[in-house]
Structure 1
Amino acid sequence: MRILDPLAGRYAAWLRLPAEATADVSAEDPALVRAMPMIMRIERAEPPPRTAMLEAAAAAAVAVCLDPRAAEPDGEWHDAVAEWVRAHIRKVARRARGAHWAAVEELPGVTVTVGGASVRALVPGRVVDTPKEVSRLQIAGSDLPADEPDPPESDVPVLWVNPKVEMTAGKAAAQVGHATMLLAALWQADGADLADWAAADYRCAVRTPSPQRWAELHPGEEPGRAWRERGVVAVRDAGFTEVAPGTVTVVAQLPRPD
């Protein structure tokens, strides 16, 4: 079984759940809750562009999952990532700079830099076991001002962020990280070889569509059909932070052929 197969297997059922059911964690023991820490490098003097930061976060999250150390059954990260993927896919985004950033770079994970913006996605683990190098970092204050990127290139996946929902950069970073994981899961389930994407460091584009374009992208009530016919997959949030349970935060789209 591939490391992300559980995501592909439950994708359609998750989208069809009633909104309140997406936040049902009554069966979870708080001591066993797992999350992937995502550390955004935000220096005080030169904060990075928001779009570049989100693109780095999206690539870093899937890079950890598909790294041979996680994807191979005998890899040193495999058990940690597999246990996390089988449960609720939680991510916690924090910000770091200076010596604190240097400290988290020593922890197991993958750093991706896009346009001067760096994000390190760490190997997921139990929240109660979060290393002190991470737990001391702030979650609040991770927002970045909106920017106006160029239209996305046609040869990369595009992650379309819901234009009707306000999210901090930290929240959006977690959501686009979910999106690339789902995209990879369904892509692999269809038999795709992701070697070329891996060689390109899982490059993708993050954009905010118009409300009309968002409505066109949304998979609606037939997520399986939307994937087969339009190559789109949606992230539906459990509503633990910032957004209401059941909110579709991101729609990821496969590269468009020229």
Structure 2
Amino acid sequence: MQLVVRRDRHVPTREIDVAEGAARAVVALLADERSLPGGPWHEDVAHWSDERIRKLVRRADGKRWDDVQDLDGVTITQPGPVGYAAAAVRAFVPAPVTPLPKALDKLQVSGTQFETSGQSLVADALVTIEVSPLVAMTSGKLAAQCGHAAQLAWLAMGPNDRERWRDDGFRIRVERPDQKSWRTTERPVSVVDSGFTEFDGPTETTRATW
């Protein structure tokens, strides 16, 4: 699954807002009626879900951001605080890494980094994603890992919780617990990255609870 984050060259966007927007976009696509059995996206989503649920995060600005809106997917805008741009993220219907549509293929993957200051603005969200304090990640990697955690939470939920989350706009709060809390607390969802990028081997990156 490709994720594209809008970058504003003039106004900064916070990393935590990008992570929350990415997580929401992933779940919104999975829950979209077009992804359900009988929908035009279902076969691609089901095939991807049965294999390795890899996600790649790219960035775009200006016309390049406008161009990718024509490709099948779901865009979520996550508000930021005063002085920062909102985080807009589009999740695309899963497809092979190659060949990609030109509008996606020319967007950069590596070095995706956003402003790291501040905490989440989200209060009383049904789902909380916790980020490991033991590892460092780029903003792009963090967005992908939060997307993984949100997806696994959606798959693990019962129908009542899913409906409540849908009614709440799939809002998510991303938090960074301290090392003691991380080491001593278990959550229903744990994401272990395979270690193909940024990490030297399998590494737990995020957890989700609701």
Please give the TM-score of this superposition, normalised by the length of structure 1: 0.75
Tell me if structure 2 keeps the 8 A contact 1:152–1:158: no
- Percent identical: 37
**1:16-27 pair list within 5 angstroms:** none
Indicate the residue corresponding to 1:74 in structure 2. 38
Indicate the residue corresponding to 1:192 in structure 2. 160
Indicate the residue corresponding to 1:249 in structure 2. 205
* 1:57 aligned onto 2:22: yes
Letter in structure 2 aligned against 1:212? K
Task: State the secondary structure of the residue aligned to 1:243.
Answer: coil
Tell me if structure 2 keeps the 8 A contact 1:152–1:207: no
Equivalent-residue separation in structure 1 for 2:20 and 2:184 (angstroms): 22
Moved more, 231-240 or 171-180: 231-240
* 1:208 aligned onto 2:181: no
Post-superposition offset of 1:151? 7.8
Instruction: Structure 2: state its 5+ residue gaps.
Output: 80-85
Instruction: Structure 1: state its 5+ residue gaps.
Output: 1-35, 220-230
Letter in structure 2 aligned against 1:169? S
Letter in structure 1 aligned against 2:170? Y
Equivalent-residue separation in structure 1 for 2:102 and 2:125 (angstroms): 40
Q: Please list the CA deviations of residues 71-92 of structure 1 after superposition, one character each: whole Å capped at 9, or x if unmatched.
A: 2x11000000000000001000
Indicate the residue corresponding to 1:106 in structure 2. 70
The 4+ residue runs of structure 1 with deviation greater than 6 A are none
- Change in 2 beyond 3 A, CA 1:187/1:147: same
Tell me if structure 1 keeps the 8 A contact 2:19–2:174: yes
Indicate the residue corresponding to 1:177 in structure 2. 147
Equivalent-residue separation in structure 1 for 2:59 and 2:44 (angstroms): 23
Equivalent-residue separation in structure 1 for 2:121 and 2:133 (angstroms): 16
* 1:83 aligned onto 2:47: yes
Give aligned pairs, total: 204
Which one has the bigger helix percentage? 1
Post-superposition offset of 1:49? 1.1
Equivalent-residue separation in structure 2 for 1:193 and 1:204 (angstroms): 13
- Change in 2 beyond 3 A, CA 1:165/1:102: same
Equivalent-residue separation in structure 2 for 1:171 and 1:94 (angstroms): 10
Indicate the residue corresponding to 2:138 in structure 1. 168
Equivalent-residue separation in structure 1 for 2:43 and 2:165 (angstroms): 24
- Change in 2 beyond 3 A, CA 1:245/1:192: farther
Equivalent-residue separation in structure 2 for 1:53 and 1:76 (angstroms): 28
Task: State the secondary structure of the residue aligned to 1:118.
Answer: strand
Letter in structure 2 aligned against 1:99? K
Equivalent-residue separation in structure 2 for 1:152 and 1:43 (angstroms): 22
Tell me if structure 1 keeps the 8 A contact 2:14–2:114: yes
